[in-house]
Amino acid sequence: MTRPASAEGRFRAVAFDLFDTLVDFDPQRIPEVIIDGRRERTTSRAAYDALFEAGYHLPNYPAFHLLWLDTSRELWEERNRSPEYLEVSSTERFRRLLDRLVSIPGPKKEEAAALARDTHMEAIIGSAGFPAARFAMLDRIREAGLRMGVISNFDHTPAAHRLLERRGLSGYLDVVVVSEEEGFRKPAPRLFLKAAGGLGAVPGEALFVGDDFEADVRGAQAAGMPCAWLNRRGEASPEGAAPPDFEIRKVEETLRLLSLA
């Protein structure tokens, strides 16, 4: 059974997943485009416009968007096939996209890929919000002397840090572990172990809070780190899976698990 109530002060530190745990990702903030009569939310139009305005010769936008989708699908499938949970960086993703645009000469492709990547990342950052009321949770944790960190599956480390800085979160965090920088994605245990070390704790002394059962709960369990599953919709655990240590509906309930509420 999932343990309710309080952790009785057993934790010295807490780490959070980033998207849809510490910050709220709102897909409605991603720009909407109409392609072949269909409405889609995508960052591809912003990247296309940035490349066009920079003077790059491009195919028409629908053709560019199809290349975008094909490249993304190819990399996601490659990543998901990896039994070691290898990460594929956004830089590699956009290099492959630009490799398919024969109209851009080789020497220019690297800078074009960086421009497309950075434009995409700005849209992702802009779609992630942090409610002002949530600062009270972080303030309470900090006042109690517990260290805090983030463990994120994110394919561009600089963008993760820009997001944290812009939302006023960087100053709260003692460690930020990003999959792109590590070369591996959750549930690879090494990300959790690195975070525990950065928090000055052994894994059993650090609580991890995340919303994705496969990446967050299984990853924390493999590393020996207690985990709170942020299960907003009250879903059942996967059949046959070991249950999380705790289950919460709102991230602010973390305070109760830390005996701070």
Long-range contact set of residues 73-76: C-beta below 8 Å, sequence gap at least 24: none
Of 94, 126, 158, which one is at a domain's C-terminal end? Answer: 126
> E strands of 146-198, at which residues?
147-152, 175-178
Shared domain for 164 and 109, answered yes or no, is no
pLDDT of residue 9: 67
Residue owning tokens 């416009």: 49
Shared domain for 76 and 167, answered yes or no, is no
Of 126, 156, 175, which one is at a domain's C-terminal end? Answer: 126
Residue owning tokens 């980033």: 18
Shared domain for 133 and 199, answered yes or no, is yes
Inform me whether the pLDDT recorded for 12 exceeds 70.
yes
pTM as predicted: 0.93
- Other C-beta atoms lying within 10 Å of the C-beta of residue 78: 12
pLDDT digit string, tens, across residues 50-103 = 999 999 999 999 999 999 999 999 999 999 899 999 999 999 999 999 999 877
Q: Which of 203, 179, 144, 250 has the alpha carbon at shortest distance from 15?
A: 203
Shared domain for 60 and 185, answered yes or no, is no
Are 254 and 14 within 8 A, CB to CB? yes
pLDDT of residue 5: 34
Amino acid in the structure at residue 152:
S
pLDDT digit string, tens, across residues 167-213 = 999 999 999 999 999 999 999 999 999 999 999 999 999 999 999 99
**Side-chain half-sphere exposure of 147, counting CA atoms within 13 A:** 16
pLDDT digit string, tens, across residues 144-180 = 999 999 999 999 999 999 999 999 999 999 999 999 9
Shared domain for 134 and 192, answered yes or no, is yes
